[in-house]
Amino acid sequence: MDEKTRYENARKRVEQIKGFYIHLITYTFVNAFLVVINLLTSSEYLWFIWPLAGWSIGLLIHAISVYGGFWGQSWEERKIKEIMERDRRQA
């Protein structure tokens, strides 16, 4: 792999990580704001848990896609290499 390709891959990876951190910060501030609004306006019914729960699932999926898991980037790269190697042997 040449230097330009490695640089481009590293740049894309940094963008993925940065995107996750922006998502995490937004999640934290918006949900804190929703908690405050809920507690100040109608503390007898805690409705903030619903957007918090839904967004938490989305954040978890984003984290897994950036940092690993079954369908993470490393899995994709390994699978691509595996398929390329198989195709090279068959040619």
Mean pLDDT by 10 residues, the chain (91 residues): 85 93 98 97 95 97 83 71 84 72
pLDDT, position 69 = 66
pLDDT, position 47 = 97
pLDDT, position 68 = 77
Closest by Cα among 53, 52, 47, 76 to 64? 76
pLDDT, position 56 = 98
How far is Cα 30 from Cα 36, in angstroms, rounded to an integer? Answer: 10
Q: What pTM value is reported for the model?
A: 0.73
pLDDT, position 72 = 59
